[in-house]
Amino acid sequence: MNYATARYLTAVSQHPDPAVAVAEVIGQSLENIGGQPGLAVMFTSGPHATHTPMIARAIQKALSPSVLLGSSACGTLAHRQEIQEGPSIVLWTTLVEGVRPLRLEFPALPDDLEPGQAVALIADPFTFDAATLAAGVDPDLTLVGGLASATSGPGNSHLILGEETFSNGAVAIVFPVHTDARAVVATGCRPVGEPMVVTDAEGPLIRSLAGRPALERVADLLAEADEMTAARIRRGLHLGIVIDEHLEAFGAGDFLIRTIVGAHNPSGALAVGDTVPIGTTVQFQVRDAEAATADLKDRLADQRADGALAFTCNDRGSHLFGLPGHDAGLMVDTLGTTAVAGMSCTGEIGPVGGTHQLHGFTASVLLLGSVIKPTEGRG
């Protein structure tokens, strides 16, 4: 097979009957993919999420893909669409062969992966330590993925790998080197205020920033902010943890974004959704649609691809941009393909600053058959 001409296809159905919906996506794939898929990736949302195992069996029987990966989710992406409400089935297929399935119960990849290979992973957020996995990934590999989002408690995820369905751990696929995979990770926040060093902390509690109680730093931020920024701070303030302390200045893509989940007024401490050691440089962040758009546009600007798998935060879409379809539309317009498919996640995985990390509020995208086309003024 000539991998340079491998075809990628995204099929989607929002029919309310899951049997009709899966028949529709199977029909679209049979009509357009031009052969037995080497890989099929499926995502379900809305009422169809509970039927994920049945949908997977139907796809296996009709298409007989060499490898099948899938997950239920709170929302899906297909072409230019981001389906945040109601039923959907998205089926992404390719003729590429040699894809390796992986079932992970512990946060470590096999040690026999080759430099240049790419891994797409979907994990249960309650039983799998994706942050530990990401931190241990060799920089010669590319890991992109997300945490399943169709359930608010353990035991209810539907993770598909081949003919099996799992409710815990993680499922993944490894692409051969010749698929020319590349990762793009774009943030959904912008920094506000100034960078500060954590001077007192214990576990997820940050007691002081640059020698003063952390809550006082929030009060200072509000007092100095313009009206629009102050409103965004009140709606939800986040913390950016600097990835590379050696940088002279920090921009939007230089932070791991973590939610500030609470505050303790008597002590002036902030509770953050991560452990932040003393000595770490941090900066407050607010969700910002304009900054998120600019960051995604910039990171896609010189990219082209035959297909893409996207894992986006469930707080993007209409929650951030006002209307669904923002991220998917930018990908289609920029990458030169409609073979874009993905899911909304409760955490996204991808490489930033030379390391792999578990992110929040990002769009983490794996480009397949990717080509860099530098534009004027870019190096």
CA distances to 39, 89, 108, 196, 322 from 169, rounded to whole Å, are 21, 23, 11, 36, 34
How does DSSP classify residue 97? -
CB 163 within 8 A of CB 191: no
Total residues found in the chain within this entry = 379
Sign of CA dihedral 338, 185, 261, 155: positive
Contacts 24+ apart (CB under 8 A), 51-54: 51/18, 52/158, 52/160, 52/165, 53/158, 53/160, 53/165, 54/18, 54/22
Tell which wins on pLDDT, 235 or 102: 102
- pLDDT tens per residue, range 108-153: 999 999 999 999 999 999 999 999 999 999 999 999 999 999 777 7
Above 80 in pLDDT, residue 160? yes
Residue with tokens 């608010």: 152
Of 250, 247, 262, 318, residue with least CA distance to 287: 318
User: What residues have CB less than 8 Å from 87, skipping those under 6 apart?
Assistant: 14, 15, 16, 18, 21, 45, 46, 47, 48
Please report the pLDDT score of residue 239 as a whole number: 95
Mean pLDDT taken over the chain: 92
The single-letter code of the amino acid at 78 is A
- pLDDT tens per residue, range 161-219: 999 999 999 999 999 999 999 999 999 999 999 999 999 999 889 999 999 999 999 99
Instruction: Summarize the confidence of residues 91-120 as an average pLDDT.
Output: 96
What distance in Å separates the CA atoms of residue 200 and residue 214, rounded to the nearest whole number? 9
* Other Cβ atoms within 10 Å of 244 Cβ, number: 12
- pLDDT tens per residue, range 21-78: 999 999 999 999 878 999 999 999 999 999 999 999 999 999 999 999 999 999 999 9
Please report the pLDDT score of residue 264 as a whole number: 86
Instruction: Summarize the confidence of residues 282-305 as an average pLDDT.
Output: 94
User: What residues have CB less than 8 Å from 232, skipping those under 6 apart?
Assistant: 286, 287, 288
Helix-then-strand count for the chain, H and E: 8, 28
At residue 270 the predicted structure's pLDDT band, cuts being 50, 70 and 90, is very high
Laid out side by side, the sheet with 76-78 consists of 81-83, 76-78, 340-345, 307-313, 363-368, 182-186
User: What residues have CB less than 8 Å from 315, skipping those under 6 apart?
Assistant: 188, 287, 361
- Tokens found for residue 197: 């060093």
What distance in Å separates the CA atoms of residue 116 and residue 177, rounded to the nearest whole number? 5
Of 272, 254, 273, residue with least CA distance to 346: 273
Sign of CA dihedral 237, 243, 244, 250: negative
Please report the pLDDT score of residue 2 as a whole number: 38
- Tokens found for residue 378: 């870019």
Alpha carbon dihedral 334, 336, 342, 347, in 10-degree steps, equals -30
CB 218 within 8 A of CB 284: yes
